[in-house]
Amino acid sequence: MSEKAESKSLDPIDHIAIQVDDLINTVNFYKDSFQCEVIYQDDTWAFLKFQNIKLAFVIPGQHPPHIAFVNEKAENFGELKTHRDGTRSVYIKDPSGNTLEIMAPYEV
């Protein structure tokens, strides 16, 4: 591998959102089976933090299943929406029809 390729900054994956039929049972299963932390939960989705990634569990019809990337030029993908947690993102489709969330870097 060349030095140039090794020094290239890669976009991080912020989280993966998985559609579930029963939010409460799913969250309980993951809490009981794995070392993780519930960082948010309401009636339509839950956010769990693991050592290297976050998982979002979403119910059908409320939030799309997706992969969320953080990208320095997120606004180039479309108009960013500000969410209740202060993050900003836009949802797009990849060429195969998979939903992607493109997030602006977090503002601290």
Give the pLDDT of residue 73. 96
What CATH code is carried by the domain that includes residue 90? 3.10.180.10
In a domain, 77, yes or no: yes
Which range of residues forms the domain containing residue 77?
Answer: 11-103
> Is residue 4 included in any domain, yes or no?
no
18 inside domain: yes
Instruction: Tally the domains of the chain.
Output: 1
67-85: pLDDT as tens digits: 999 999 999 999 999 987 8
Residue 82: inside a domain: yes
Instruction: Work out the mean pLDDT of the chain and round it to a whole number.
Output: 92
Q: What is the pTM of this model?
A: 0.85
Query: Is the residue at 108 inside a domain?
Result: no
pLDDT for position 84: 78
- Ranges assigned E (strand) in the chain: 13-19, 37-41, 45-49, 54-58, 66-70, 81-82, 88-93, 99-103
Residue 16 lies in a domain: yes
